[in-house]
Structure 1
Amino acid sequence: MTDAAAPVPLARHRVVLGAAEVHGTAPTPVEAGPIAVLPTAERAFVDAVERAGGVVAPLSTATRGVVWTASSGGDDLAHLLDAHPAIAWLQLPWAGVDAFAGLLGRAAGDGRVWTSAKGAYAQPVAEHALMLALAVLREIPRRVHATSWHVDELGRTLYGANVVIVGAGGIAVELLRLLEPFGVHTTVVRRSAVPVAGAARTLPTTRLGEALDGADLVVLAAALTGDSRGLIGAAELQRMPRGCVLVNVARGGLVDTEALVEALASGHLGGAGLDVTDPEPLPTGHPLWQAPNCIVTPHVADTEEMTVPLFAERISQNVRAFLGDGAFEGRIDPVAGY
């Protein structure tokens, strides 16, 4: 994730646990032992293990925990687990684990504890989502390219807006807090209808269409799974009121890109702020680069300066849980895929 020789930045954010998180007081029973930091034993993450009382050692038959620092490499990790069945706990580096979907599908019922960084990067990503929303509402994508003074009276306010947030993880929880000063009316859409604190209403995904009715701003902050892929397609975009703004800081695959391009080109969609796209990287010359009132940032809502100290904190917390002190954070449900 980072240059092992570079100084480790200090954390300026805190972990935000999602509304869907369930925390127990008792540790999950696993057999503790040496921990391997792979595929590269970066200093910041080795220190995080040792700071929590763990022992870092090269991969061997004695290894009981693995901290995986690469953003992908599911096949390599699968081979590693097949060769070392005694590994009891695995820590993955990102909040989204769709890059490891195949591996997780095999992991159901294997007895291992799988953890991710979900919640760890919520603050920087929620901050980025708010920035994208404000920029698009205020017509910034078009105005930054202007070369002459032209007063057109365009631009909308976030104050009092009807906001829909799809997802109930740490990003959603933090974004709800950031939106409070704007006096918005917020609907959270999640897998269940269990209320989310700070939201005016909470609806299950089966009622997504209802949530989109009357929305001024829709923010996607949900995990990408087999069920959520293509969640926002042509029908959902058309159901949004004309002029609605879409922000996606989750995964590009949640949106039908072709339908998004058409909705922007027709003027039905008032604008889009995208930190993620499908495909990704977005090819040079793709219509989204020229789409009206659209901002595309190259998946940089959480930079290494932000993520390295936050991931180190997550590692330390889960090493303590691995050693029997407290509960694991960011538990992955291999069946659900996140």
Structure 2
Amino acid sequence: MTITVLPEAQAPFVKAVAAGGVEAQPLSAETEGVVWLDPKGVSQLAEVLDANPQVRWVQLPFAGVDAFTDVFTSHSSITFTSAKGAYDEPVAEHALALTLAALRDFGPYSRRTSWSAQAGRSLYDLRVAVVGAGGIGREIVRLLQPFRAKITVVRRRQQPVEGAERVVDDQTFRSLVAEFDVIILAAALTAGTKHLLGAEEFKALPNDAVVVNIARGPQIDTDALAEAITQGEIAGAGVDVTDPEPLPDGHPLWTAGNVIITPHTANTWAMAQKPLSARISHNVRAFLGESDGGSAVEFAGVVDKQAGY
């Protein structure tokens, strides 16, 4: 079987394919597997697949795959795998860092040029909602354990999550918003999670609550967030993703107050190389039909095209 690394055959990932059991080759009529490394190259990938109907498997580079929805629809016979579950640790770490920074008012403190009054709040014993129960959400729950946080996990399926006091769906979550001190968004972007937090939710939150987003920008109404912080409806926010993204110069969120904005760096390309390489090697073995201890190696991170993640 022929596997091709595109749009550029970057050395670490060519090696990852080889580690899976086959040498990567240039794109040709023999290519059946594609390792796609450009998260923004949606139209380019579509062109490759249109021109190569023999392709049966595509590995995507990141956990979020909402940008590729049209590709999934137009190439429904192809197995797509993502990196979901591969980047749990660095992204969850970033979520915790933003949570602590927002609670402790690090944003305003870091911009001041003179000594100022004390502000801030401890994470210990707070009521935290973690939206999303994938690998990242579960890792966030694990990292919150030493803080004795009272954790509610929001997910579609009402299955228990280790470390969480309760699990609720998104509709129930909306009715409980007023209870939370911290909301951390770690879910895939779907029709059900778009603008999950908007003006109504910010008004319902306690005035000392903070919001953190390491998922996808459109899950928060950005203008409503800026307004809520400016008006004191909530205490602050830490966001690694925005809508629009990049956040335009001069947008009110830049100067809204206690806001920490990082430029989509919860999982940098440097951080991603090792776990993505491991995912590629594993899925190459699955694609080749290899076995491990008598059991077939199964694809990791298979995209649910209907659910969108």
TM-score range, shorter chain: over 0.9
2:97 aligns with: 131
Structure 2: gaps (5+ residues): 291-296
1:160-181 CA distance string (max 9 Å, x none):
0100001111111111111110
The one-letter code matched in structure 1 to 2:305 is P
Q: How does 1:79-98 map to 2 (within 5 A)?
A: 79-98=47-66
1:102 Cα deviation after fit = 1.6
Structure whose residues are more often helix by fraction: 2
1:35 aligns with: 3
1:123-152 CA distance string (max 9 Å, x none):
111101101110111111111122222333
1:190 aligns with: 155
**Bigger mean CA offset, 72-81 vs 312-321:** 72-81
1:313-333 CA distance string (max 9 Å, x none):
110111111111311111101
In structure 1, how many angstroms separate the alpha carbons of the residues matched to 2:53 and 2:192? 30
**Residue 103 of structure 1: which of 60, 63, 71 is its match?**
71
In structure 1, how many angstroms separate the alpha carbons of the residues matched to 2:287 and 2:202? 44
1:85 Cα deviation after fit = 1.3
2:86 aligns with: 120
1:25-84 CA distance string (max 9 Å, x none):
xxxxxxxx1001000000000000001102311111111100001112222211211221
In structure 2, how many angstroms separate the alpha carbons of the residues matched to 1:209 and 1:180? 24
In structure 1, how many angstroms separate the alpha carbons of the residues matched to 2:108 and 2:50? 52
2:254 aligns with: 289
1:282-319 CA distance string (max 9 Å, x none):
11111111011001110011112210111111101111
2:267 aligns with: 302
> Could you say what secondary structure the match of 1:144 adopts?
helix
**Residue 202 of structure 2: which of 232, 237, 243 is its match?**
237
> Could you say what secondary structure the match of 2:31 adopts?
coil
Q: How does 1:201-240 map to 2 (within 5 A)?
A: 201-240=166-205
> Could you say what secondary structure the match of 2:218 adopts?
helix
In structure 1, how many angstroms separate the alpha carbons of the residues matched to 2:289 and 2:202? 48
Question: Higher relative contact order at CA 8 Å, sep ≥6: structure 1 or structure 2?
Answer: 1
In structure 2, how many angstroms separate the alpha carbons of the residues matched to 1:211 and 1:311? 37
In structure 1, how many angstroms separate the alpha carbons of the residues matched to 2:270 and 2:31? 30
1:99 Cα deviation after fit = 1.8
**Residue 31 of structure 2: which of 57, 63, 79 is its match?**
63
- Judge conservation of contact 1:264–1:271 (CA < 8 Å) in 2: yes
TM-score (norm 2): 0.95
2:135 aligns with: 170
- Judge conservation of contact 1:276–1:297 (CA < 8 Å) in 2: yes
The one-letter code matched in structure 2 to 1:73 is G
Q: How many percent of aligned residue pairs carry the same amino acid? A: 50
1:323 aligns with: 288
- Judge conservation of contact 1:105–1:337 (CA < 8 Å) in 2: no
Q: Is 2:43 aligned against 1:75?
A: yes
> Could you say what secondary structure the match of 1:64 adopts?
strand
TM-score (norm 1): 0.87
In structure 2, how many angstroms separate the alpha carbons of the residues matched to 1:290 and 1:160? 30
The one-letter code matched in structure 2 to 1:296 is I
- Judge conservation of contact 1:164–1:211 (CA < 8 Å) in 2: no
In structure 2, how many angstroms separate the alpha carbons of the residues matched to 1:285 and 1:150? 26
**Pair 1:85–1:144, CA change in 2 (3 A):** same
In structure 2, how many angstroms separate the alpha carbons of the residues matched to 1:219 and 1:132? 10
- Judge conservation of contact 2:213–2:239 (CA < 8 Å) in 1: yes
In structure 1, how many angstroms separate the alpha carbons of the residues matched to 2:157 and 2:258? 33
In structure 2, how many angstroms separate the alpha carbons of the residues matched to 1:76 and 1:288? 33
Q: Is 2:112 aligned against 1:141?
A: no
**Pair 1:56–1:276, CA change in 2 (3 A):** same
1:9 aligns with: none
**Residue 259 of structure 1: which of 194, 204, 224 is its match?**
224
